[in-house]
Structure 1
Amino acid sequence: MRFATYSLNGVVRAGVVADDGIHPLPEGTTVLDLVRSGLPAALEAGSSVLSGQPVPLADVRLLPPLDPPTVRDFVAFEEHVEGMVAPGAVAPEWYQAPTFYFTNPHALLGAFDDVPVPPGSELFDFELEVAAVVGKDGSSLAPEEAEIFGYTVLNDWSARDLQRREMKVQLGPSKGKDSATTLGPWLVTADELESYRDGDRFLELDLRVSVNGTEVGQDLLSNMGWPFEELVSYASRGTWVRAGDVLGSGTCGNGGCLAELWGRGREIPALKPGDVVEMTVEGIGTIRNTVVAGVELPPVRPARPRPRKRKR
């Protein structure tokens, strides 16, 4: 089943996406409510509205499928890491455990929203990912205890110049990543994708991204170093994950972002206003965003010279 959040005439509702349009769920029900109720209850609630009158998809603005408590983004594709560093220089620590950072849950955009260039950035980039949505609260979960409610497409928009500065200070990425993250077009429940399993661990979904109609990247989700259940398990070690938390796969390889191609010697320009980035994930759907000019702000002030005196 496909759950969506949408705006129609300024009113935000949740609904079930079917071939004939979006079937609204009862007023006040959110997709996060459904996730917290558990997959069986959510499927029952979704089935109960399919006989009603649908809203045409063309009439609505699709919003991010849910309002997640947190958004973690992993770096689970070895080929992506290879392209981002000098050849053969993948840190041995990458192989030891999944690595993630927290990104901004308040900067989520819908599947077809415009995306402004972050202030001060001249190296704007996309990142093609899949996100899993946690299905139940848990702490220090074993992978077999992890519950995934469903999946959506994630574009982790990245200001590479800001990111590079931050990471030289051995922190971040923060401002290089927090301006925008696209989620959508809807949340596909996990049962819908079980037929794509590669063995019993990975989802063998085709991922593609194009810029202005030209394909620049393609990969399989099954090339992840860890399946999503292990990412949930790692995220919960010594702490908690909550139902509705979003966990990104990290950027896929083979052109999943421009920076990877730059690292491999490809001369491809950074994104600029007017560029259209389209991503399609097999079994989930397509998101398409147009880059637009961002707000112009004064330059950031550098740190002031600081004395080293120890007494007032």
Structure 2
Amino acid sequence: MRFATFLHGGRQQSGVVVEDKVHPFEVPAELGEFIEAGEGTLRSAAEEALAGTTPLPLADVRLLPPLQPPTVRDFVTFERHVEGMARGHGDTVPEEWYAAPTFYFTNPYAVIGAHDDVPVPPGCERFDFELEVAAVIGKSGRDLSPDQAREHIIGYTILNDWSARDLQSREMKVRLGPAKGKDSATTLGPWLVTADELEPHRTADGFLDLHLTVEVNGETVGQDSLANMSWTFEEMTAYASRGTWVRPGDVLGSGTCGNGGCLAELWGRHHILEPPPLAPSDTVTMTVQGIGSISNTVIEGVPPIPVPRARHRH
């Protein structure tokens, strides 16, 4: 099943998507509340909506992020992406990358919808996209095994981790971050696809073989398969739960795919800013087999409000 959150007539609603229509839930609750109540409750709400509410054409609604996640962990699981990024600095994939599925926490307050405009972050001159798929947690757990973790993933959505590369590069020299380089926007959408819908695409070794593409202004820039991840979502979930909790609504991003899943990877391989950084009026469209498409247009941002340099104390 596919579940969306949307605006219609100035009212925020959630519902179940069938073909080109969305059936609003009869109960006016956020999708995250249904997820927290349990998958059985979510499916019952969907069945009631399909039987009892008037469907709305998707063309008549504004899609919002499917849910407002309490946390967003963004992993880095595609070796080709890591290799391309490292090449830009004259490096190779660090040995530490192979040891465990590394992630960072990004800003849950910055999620935006499938077709929302994206302002250039203040002070950014090298704006970039990142093509990813995200798993959404449906049931609480901690210290999970990968086998146990499968029962804790309720579904998947597309994730675009918008990145201010120049800001990111500077701040990570402090050996902390990323911070403002990843703080301005993360697209989630167009909806949440339940895990069972994607099971036919699962490979023998546990990966989801979904085709991924990204276009800028209608021109294909990158494409890959989700099966080229080096860890499964279940393994990522198990690692995320080590010594702590994962809870309903938590989002776990796959990290950027290889083969042009972001501009910075291509810059690293070509040693030139080609294709150029994103600029106002550029439209980035991402499509994932079995899930759908998102498309956001870059717009002018605001200038940065100055803050002083550090005061020397010795």
TM range (shorter): over 0.9
- Residue 147 of structure 2 corresponds to 144
| Pairwise CA RMSD | 1.2
C-alpha distance in structure 1 between counterparts of 2:147 and 2:171, whole Å: 36
Alignment match, 1:30:
30
Q: Equivalents in 1 of 2:10, 2:311: separation in Å?
A: 46
Shift of 1:58: 1.1
- 5+ unaligned residues in a row in structure 2: which ranges? none
Q: 1:76 to 1:20 in 2, by over 3 A?
A: closer
Cross-structure match for 2:47:
47
Which amino acid is the alignment partner of residue 283 of structure 1?
G
- In the superposition, the TM-score normalised over structure 2's length comes to 0.95
Aligned residues with identical type, % of pairs: 65
User: Counterpart of 2:217?
Assistant: 212
More helix by share: 2
Provide the secondary structure at the position in 2 that maps to 1:151: strand
1:21: how far off?
0.9
- Distance in 2 between the 1:41 and 1:10 partners? 26
Matched, 1:263 2:268: yes
Would you say 1:221 and 2:222 are equivalent positions?
no
TM-aligned CA deviation for residue 289 of structure 1: 0.2
Alignment correspondent of 1:121: 124
The Cα offsets for residues 40-92 of structure 1, whole Å up to 9 and x where unpaired, read as 33222212211331011111110000111100000000000000012661000
Question: 1:184 corresponds to which letter in structure 2?
Answer: G
1:21-41 CA-partner distances (Å, limit 9, x unpaired): 110002432211221222233
Greater than 6 Å deviation, 4+ residue runs: none
Structure 1 unaligned residues grouped into runs of 5+? none
The match for 2:92 among 89, 94, 98 is: 89
Q: CA deviation at 1:20?
A: 4.7
Q: How many residues align structurally?
A: 307
Counterparts in 2 of 1:1-312, with a 5 A limit?
1-51=1-51, 52-86=53-87, 89-146=92-149, 147-265=152-270, 267-306=274-313, 308=314
Q: In the alignment, residue 38 of structure 1 is paired with which amino acid? A: G
The letter for the 1-side match of 2:293 is: T
TM-score by length of 1: 0.96
Structure 1 residue 298, shift from structure 2 partner:
3.3
SS of the aligned residue for 2:56 comes to coil
Bigger drift between 216-225 and 293-302 goes to: 293-302
What secondary structure sits across from 1:297 in the alignment? coil
Q: How many Å separate the matches in 2 of 1:40 and 1:206?
A: 30
